[in-house]
Chains A and B, each alone.
Chain A
Amino acid sequence: MTYSSSLALGRQRYGQRNQNAVSFKDTTRTLGPVSNTVILIVLACVLGLLYLTQVTKTNAYGYHINDLQKQQTSLKQEHDDLEVASARLQALDRVKNSEATKNLVAAAPKSTISD
């Protein structure tokens, strides 16, 4: 018996003709190229939606900011108007010609600080 025939005999003990001597089954599940593409597209869509949501939200804040700025401007304008009105009401000419001033009576000083 040659060395090779002895090997052949050894293989025949576990297998028959056309049968692999070693049985191997890969249990790891992998995704194929189609699945990967689909997932990528879905992911891109989700990200796109997220981006759009954020942009829309930010722009909505922009409108809110715009409204607040309008309010601020309006209040500032009101403040300025009141400041002008206040200054006009306290103007010397107005005070001088007011009814209250017309009713004042002149008083002559009776003494000075040095007296």
Chain B
Amino acid sequence: MTPPAVNRPFLSPTTRIRVWYGLLAIIMAVFVVRLFYLQVIRYNHYHIAALQTQLKQYEIPPARGIIEAHEGDQVVPIVLNEPRYTLFADPKYVKDPAQAAGKIQGNIGGDYSQYINVMKQNSRYAVLAKKLTKEQKDKLDKLNLLGIGTREEDYRTYPQGPLAAQLLGFVNDEGQGKYGLEQYLNKELQGTPGELKAITDAQGVPLAANKDNVLKAPKSGDRVTMTIDIAMQRQAEDILKAGLDAAKSKSGGAIIMDPYTGAIKAMANYPTYNPGEFYKVTDANAFNNNDVSSPLEVGSIMKPLTAAAALNQGVVNANTTYFDPSRFTIGDATVTNIEEDGGPGTRSISDILSLSLNTGATWLLMQMGGGEVNQKARDAWHDYMVNHYQFGKPTGIEQGYEAGGSIPDPDKGFGLNIQYANTAFGQGMTATPLQMGAALSSLVNGGTYYQPHLIDRTTAADGRITTKQPTIIKNGVVSANVSTTLVGFLENVINRNHITYGMPNLRSQFMIGGKTGTAQIAKPTGGYYEDKYNGMFMGFVGGNKAQYVIVVRVDQPGITGYAGSKAAAPIFGNLTNMLIDNFGVLPKS
């Protein structure tokens, strides 16, 4: 009997298991190979692709440094940062420009048709409005307009309005400081940007677990404290403006400085502007701090410096007298005085200043040359102008566009003797009012030239404070004796002329001295205008010692009389009264 047929499987169980193992191994191998390809061979490609969506990299802008100034014993901010918002459109996503424009105009005002035009631009970023306030931004956010967004930006804000505008300068739309302090200290005020580099989630929040995240905090710009006192600055600006109006002058300036440190306490310019609205200024000259950037022929305010140089060289002394012929011929030119000076006569050094004798200043220069204007006189006077009074080079004050003025070379050129005779009374050379103030400071403080400065201290982002110490540029500009003598001479000028200077009620308990200057304005083509003058006044006020040095400049006054006496001197008088009344000038004791 045949045994029944057994249905034997095609493959034995062991073989089947091996086949499945084999298949599994092949599939696994495919995965492994594919993964190897993706993760090893194409590593860079996918790494970069992943980072593009996950890695966010931002530059964090630093806050620009705040600028402060003194107000009596306090320090108050005068330039701050304020966030404002730029409204922009991505025209690709704005479906109905007319409707969007209507809603925007309804909430923030502006030009409806201009909004539409902007939103129809072929661009992905079109600016609709700038400098929106937070309230305006919040209103627009509530509208939830597709394709319309806002971007926050810091803008400079000036709580004191146009106060000290030229000193401060402004910051343009590119974030660059222009003019004044903003330009000079742009780098220090700007700070250093920070950096954020991080793997983020879909909402852009950095994932803290990523060890490669980079967060470098921005470093804010330095906080700068100026030497000026805002109350003094405001009053100086008001007095200057009133004085210019009275003199029918369109422009001018005034400086008040501490002769014992070189610190500028006030520096006024007119015309002025609001730095918060610098874009509205039509005449760029309004941006200039003319007290430091516009050198001019200073006129007779140079005479005290000439006298001090002669005294210090020992070629004359305080009691020297001489016969003034009222006319000197030098080469083919003649130096004369104004008619009111009384003609020929015996004069003292003090007379040269109080009568403002051009011939007297020329005579002083002659004494430096042994009795005539010659090479020796030119060299000696040049040395004083350049090396003692620091003319011909910028003072280094913290202001953009500072000018150094010009002093003629004593050895090169034509007509050097008459040119140098002119410099003895402030013509034929140029200097800025600031240079004159710094030079006078050195004459009244005992002979030390301090660098004029506007920065009192800076505070870095880490709290480190750097206080500016007075910088001595030169000791021994003149001797202490000459300094004392000159202070007396300049007091005498005021005592003899204060009525003419518009200072009828001279306050005798205070030490007030100074000198006028009326300088003809040079033509661009050479020579001088017959009827165009600048008026200047340079002086000091104090008690037992000069507490403040003041320089006033009035450009082309429209009133009759000498510009220095009639236009600049009254402003000086009002400034001295202001300082005595409000800023603690101590009387003589």
B230 touching A59 by the CB < 8 A rule? no
A59 touching B157 by the CB < 8 A rule? no
Q: Judge if A4 is at the interface, Cβ distance under 8 Å.
A: no
Chain B residues near A55 (CB-CB < 8 A):
209
Chain B residues near A92 (CB-CB < 8 A):
160, 163, 230-231, 234
Beyond A77-B83, A80-B80, is A93–B160 a contact (Cβ under 8 Å)?
A: yes
- 9 residue pairs, one from A and one from B, having the closest CB atoms: A62-B208, A87-B159, A58-B209, A114-B587, A88-B159, A55-B209, A91-B159, A66-B205, A92-B234
Closest residue on chain A to residue B233 by CB atoms: A92
- Bitwise, A71-96 to B at CB < 8 A (1) or not (0) is 00000010011011001101111000
A110 CB to nearest chain B CB (Å): 13
Task: Please report A residues at the B interface, Cβ cutoff 8 Å.
Answer: 54-55, 58-59, 61-63, 65-66, 77, 80-81, 83-84, 87-88, 90-93, 109, 112-114
B76 contact from A80, A90, A112, Cβ within 8 A: A90
Chain A residues near B209 (CB-CB < 8 A):
54-55, 58-59, 62
Q: Judge if B586 is at the interface, Cβ distance under 8 Å.
A: yes
Chain A residues near B159 (CB-CB < 8 A):
84, 87-88, 90-91
**9 A–B contact pairs at CB < 8 A?**
A54-B209, A58-B209, A62-B206, A63-B205, A80-B81, A84-B80, A87-B160, A112-B509, A114-B589
Q: Which residues in chain B, 80-94, are within 8 Å of chain A measured between CB atoms?
A: 80-83
B157 contact from A62, A84, A113, Cβ within 8 A: A84
B234 touching A59 by the CB < 8 A rule? no
Beyond A93-B160, A112-B587, A114-B588, is A83–B206 a contact (Cβ under 8 Å)?
A: no
A93 touching B161 by the CB < 8 A rule? yes
A59 touching B208 by the CB < 8 A rule? yes
- Bitwise, B562-589 to A at CB < 8 A (1) or not (0) is 0000000000000000000100001111
Q: Judge if B207 is at the interface, Cβ distance under 8 Å.
A: yes
Chain A residues near B586 (CB-CB < 8 A):
113
Closest residue on chain A to residue B82 by CB atoms: A84
- Bitwise, B68-81 to A at CB < 8 A (1) or not (0) is 00000000111011
A109 touching B581 by the CB < 8 A rule? yes
Chain A residues near B82 (CB-CB < 8 A):
80-81, 84
How many residues on B have C-beta within 8 angstroms of the other chain's C-beta atoms?
A: 27
Chain A residues near B589 (CB-CB < 8 A):
114
Beyond A92-B231, A114-B509, is A87–B208 a contact (Cβ under 8 Å)?
A: no
Chain B residues near A61 (CB-CB < 8 A):
208
Chain A residues near B163 (CB-CB < 8 A):
92
B206 contact from A54, A66, A90, A113, Cβ within 8 A: A66
Task: Contacts A66-B206, A84-B157, A88-B159 known; list 13 others, CB within 8 Å.
Answer: A58-B208, A58-B209, A62-B205, A62-B206, A80-B80, A80-B81, A80-B82, A81-B82, A84-B82, A93-B161, A112-B509, A113-B586, A114-B588
Chain A residues near B230 (CB-CB < 8 A):
92
Chain B residues near A91 (CB-CB < 8 A):
159-161
- Bitwise, B229-245 to A at CB < 8 A (1) or not (0) is 01100100000000000
Chain B residues near A77 (CB-CB < 8 A):
83
Chain B residues near A83 (CB-CB < 8 A):
77, 80
Chain A residues near B207 (CB-CB < 8 A):
59, 62
Closest residue on chain A to residue B207 by CB atoms: A59
B205 touching A113 by the CB < 8 A rule? no
Measured in the bound complex, the distance between the Cα atoms of B8 and A3 in whole Å is 59
Measured in the bound complex, the distance between the Cα atoms of B589 and A35 in whole Å is 106
Measured in the bound complex, the distance between the Cα atoms of B80 and A59 in whole Å is 37
Measured in the bound complex, the distance between the Cα atoms of B81 and A2 in whole Å is 117
B463 CB to nearest chain A CB (Å): 16
B233 CB to nearest chain A CB (Å): 9
Q: Max chain A CB contacts within 10 Å: which of B80, B234, B581?
A: B80
Measured in the bound complex, the distance between the Cα atoms of B231 and A68 in whole Å is 41
Beyond A80-B80, A90-B76, A112-B587, is A65–B160 a contact (Cβ under 8 Å)?
A: no
Chain B residues near A109 (CB-CB < 8 A):
581
Closest residue on chain B to residue A90 by CB atoms: B76
Chain B residues near A84 (CB-CB < 8 A):
80, 82, 157, 159
Chain A residues near B234 (CB-CB < 8 A):
92
